[in-house]
Structure 1
Amino acid sequence: MKTTTAALPPSGDPGSGSPDDTALTSALTASRALLGVIARSLAPVMDTVTLPQFRVLVVLSNFGPLRMGDLAQHVGANQSSFSRFADRMVAGGLIARSASPGSRREVIISLTAEGARVYAEVTGARKKEIALVLEKLSDAELDAVRAGFEVFARAAGEPSADETLILGI
């Protein structure tokens, strides 16, 4: 007797039958929309900063100066390869390196005035783009979007704007 088994789609793929398929599909759709917002907001500075470099500016803007290893961890990079990446950002005037006051072996990375300017410019453009989308929503839809994004950001480990102000990071 010949038996056949149905091929199962990889876990997490739309249609795999897992209960979070709808949430996954919705998150992917929303991420495409947000990627468009990000691309449009980064367009004016794309000659000076890449998307991975902008992520570094975001982390430093939210957390303040960080040890090189901590910064690499926040952006999901290997510390040795991140050091070369940081060299390019230092050369571009976006970040600065300094020795840690507590240990000369530790390197502290901080935003420069130019890095802070680029962050503010892109973030301002991104806020305008998002506001244009949000103004199309009803009050109930705005509440749903706010709640959903707060939960998503918390699950992703991203501090809220309020937390960064309260904690001073």
Structure 2
Amino acid sequence: MEGNSPVRGAVGVADAEADDVVSVVMAASRLVMGMSARALAEVDESLSLAQLRTLVALEGCGPVKLAVLAEVLGVNSSTALRSVMRLEQVGLVDRRASEVSRREVVLSLTGRGAELVRQVLEHRRREVEKLVDGVPPRVRAGLVTGLRALLETAGDRSIVIPGTTEEFRGGMG
């Protein structure tokens, strides 16, 4: 049972309410991962979830340098580069010299990459909409407030958070 996990104390969560929040967010994370896997399998089963994550990050960031993409993904540059090279080979990512400095390389989605991301996210959105429809309206407002706060705390610059200003995302490089 997750509630008795020895990791719980390691994250500094002292009270039962915070522990409940952590457990529920972990369960929701697994739910979203499952939705992502199903959506990806429907659209392109040759890609991994890690590769999808790279594509979605590029979709959210717009054209960026490799170092920025690696930062957004929370990986080192060589890991990001390996993913980008594989995605470039299958025509989903484009690498071009920067217009500002020919020595810098800028990464972006190709039209095909953008379409794949759109299809996967649309598939996942339909699944989320079905779930939300089952949540009582009086509970939904609390979900919006809580999840928005969680997203803002995470500070993932590749995610546009509805109801916040675009400046939240910071500079994309």
5 Å matches for 1:20-59? Answer: 20-59=18-57
5 Å matches for 1:8-157? Answer: 9-12=6-9, 18-19=14-15, 20-157=18-155
Unaligned runs of 5+ in 2: 1-5
Question: Residues 103-162 of structure 1, C-alpha deviation per residue, up to 9 Å, x if partnerless?
Answer: 122110001011001100001001100000000011111111111211111111133145
Task: Using structure 1 for the length normalisation, give the TM-score.
Answer: 0.83
Per the alignment, do residues 10 and 31 of structure 1 end up closer, same or farther by CA in structure 2, a change over 3 Å counting? closer
Per the alignment, do residues 11 and 165 of structure 1 end up closer, same or farther by CA in structure 2, a change over 3 Å counting? closer
Which sits farther off after the overlay, 156-165 or 27-36?
A: 156-165
The structure with more radius of gyration = 1
- Aligned-residue CA RMSD (Å): 2.5
Which sits farther off after the overlay, 66-75 or 157-166?
A: 157-166
Which sits farther off after the overlay, 74-83 or 123-132?
A: 74-83
Q: How many residues align?
A: 159
Paired residue secondary structure (2:119): helix
Task: Using structure 2 for the length normalisation, give the TM-score.
Answer: 0.81
Query: Offset at 1:38?
Result: 1.6
Tell me the percent identity. Answer: 30
Per the alignment, do residues 73 and 58 of structure 1 end up closer, same or farther by CA in structure 2, a change over 3 Å counting? same
Q: Identify, as 1 or 2, the structure richer in helix.
A: 2
